[in-house]
Amino acid sequence: MLNYQLDQTFNALADPTRRALVERLAQGPASVSELAAPLPMSLPAVMGHLKVLEESGLVKSEKTGRVRTCRIEPQMLSQAEHWVAERRAMWERSLDRLGAFLDMTKEDET
C-alpha cells in the first residue's frame, strides 16, 4: 500500500466525527443529510468530513437526482488493518529473536 494512501486512511480515521460516519455507514448506505442529522454541526462541516473519507477511499458516493448516497468501501479498511497487523507481527518476531538469544546465553551459562 502506498504511503500517501495510509496517510489519508489513518488521518480519516483519526477524527471522532469521521469514525461516527464510518460506523453509521458500516450498517448500510445513507444520504448526506441522513448522515448529518445526528451530528452537532452544520451540513457543510459534515460534507468536509465526507470529502476526507472519500479522498481516503474509505467511502464512495453517487448522486441520483438531488440525493447523494454514500456507502463504505471495506478494502481500504482492511488495508489499514493489514499495515497494523504486519508491524505487530514484526514486533513479535523481534521478541522471539530476543527470547532465542536469551535462551542461548542461558545455555552458555550452564
Partner DNA sequence: TTGATACTTAATCACATGCTTAACTATCAA
Partner DNA sequence: TTGATAGTTAAGCATGTGATTAAGTATCAA
Q: Which is nearer to DNA, 67 or 85 (CB)?
A: 67
Residues 41-70, buried b or exposed e (16+ Cβ, 10 A)? eeeeebeebbebbbebbbbebeeeeeebeb
Among 29, 32, 71, 77, binds DNA (CB under 7 A): 32
Is residue 15 near DNA by the rule CB under 7 A? yes
> DSSP states of 74-88 as a string?
HHHHHHHHHHHHHHH
As given in the structure block, the three cell numbers for residue 2 are 502506498
Query: Given the rule CB under 7 A, which residues bind DNA?
Result: 11, 15, 17, 31-34, 40-45, 47-49, 52, 63-68
Query: Given the rule CB under 8 A, which residues bind a copy of itself?
Result: 3-4, 6-7, 10-11, 13-16, 19, 22-23, 25-28, 72, 74, 77-78, 80-81, 83-85, 87-88, 90-92, 94, 98
